[in-house]
Amino acid sequence: MSRPLSETRVSLTINGRPITASQSLSVIQALWYAGYPRVKGVGCLEGVCGSCRVMVCRKDSNELSMELGCQLLIENGMDVLFAVFDTPSHHHYQLSDIQSSWNIQTRFQSIFPEAEQCRHCHGCNAACPKGIDVETAVDLAVKGHFKECGDLFIDCVMCDLCMTSCPEFIEPNHVGLFARRVSAYFDTRPSNLINRLEAIRSGQMQVDTDDEEND
C-alpha cells in the first residue's frame, strides 16, 4: 500500500527548476511528480546505488551540504543541485594476486600508498550522507584491521563523496571495498600478528634468528 501524500505543499528549486510538491516526497520523487523523469544520476534506475548525490542549500542558510536525493525529504525554500560526476578509481588490483592473507597488509600499502598520509581533516566524515566514520575506518585499514574497517563501511553506497572530498586522493570508499573484499576472500589471520610480520619484513623490527631462545 503506497504512503499517502502530505497535504502540506512546499516550493523549492531542483536543478534550477521551480517545483511545488507534497512535503512528504523525496527530492527524486518530487522531480518525478513535477513531470521530470530523471534517469541520469539516479542509482536505482541505473543499477549503481549512491549516484543520486545532491548539493543542498536550505532556506536562510549559506551552508552547503551533500546528501542523497532518494532519502532527502524536500523542504520549503530548498535549492537542490544533482552532482553528476564520473570518478573512476585510480587504485587497481586483483584479489587473486594476493598470495595469502599474510600478504594483505603489504599489498594494501602498495595499492593504497596514500592511506598512510591521512591528514585527519574530517573531510570524508563531513561529506558522507550515510554518517559513516570514514576517517576511523581508513585508520583501521592502515593498521591492518581490515575486518573492523570493512564493518564500518557496511552502509556505504559508493556515492564517491568521501572520495571527492579527500585532499590526499586516498579514495576512502575504495579502501572500505578492499577491506570488505579481503575479509570475505580470506580467513583473515590476527591483525596484530600480521602487523608484527610486516614490521619485520619492512625492517622496522629486527629479529635475531641466532638467539638461543629462538632455537
Residue 34 identity (one-letter amino acid): A
Using CB under 6 A, which of 56, 118, 141, 179 touches ligand SF4?
A: 118
- Of 19 and 159, the one with the shorter C-beta distance to ligand SF4 is 159
Q: Cell numbers 592473507 correspond to what residue? A: 101
For 64, the 3-state DSSP assignment is strand
What is the phi/psi pair of residue 151, to 5°? -65, -35
Report in angstroms how near the CB of residue 58 gets to ligand SF4 at its nearest: 20
Of 31-39, 57-65, 78-86, 161-169, the segment contacting ligand SF4 by CB under 6 A is: 161-169
| Contact flag: residue 156 with ligand SF4 (CB under 6 A) | yes
Q: How far is CA 94 from the centre of its chain?
A: 20
Contacts of 122 (CB under 8 A, 6+ apart): 135
Of 72-80, 143-151, 152-160, 197-205, the segment contacting ligand SF4 by CB under 6 A is: 152-160
Give bridge partners of residue 81 from the DSSP assignment. 55
Q: Which residues bind ligand SF4 (CB under 6 A)?
A: 50, 118-124, 127-128, 130, 132, 134-135, 138, 156-162, 165-168, 170, 172-173
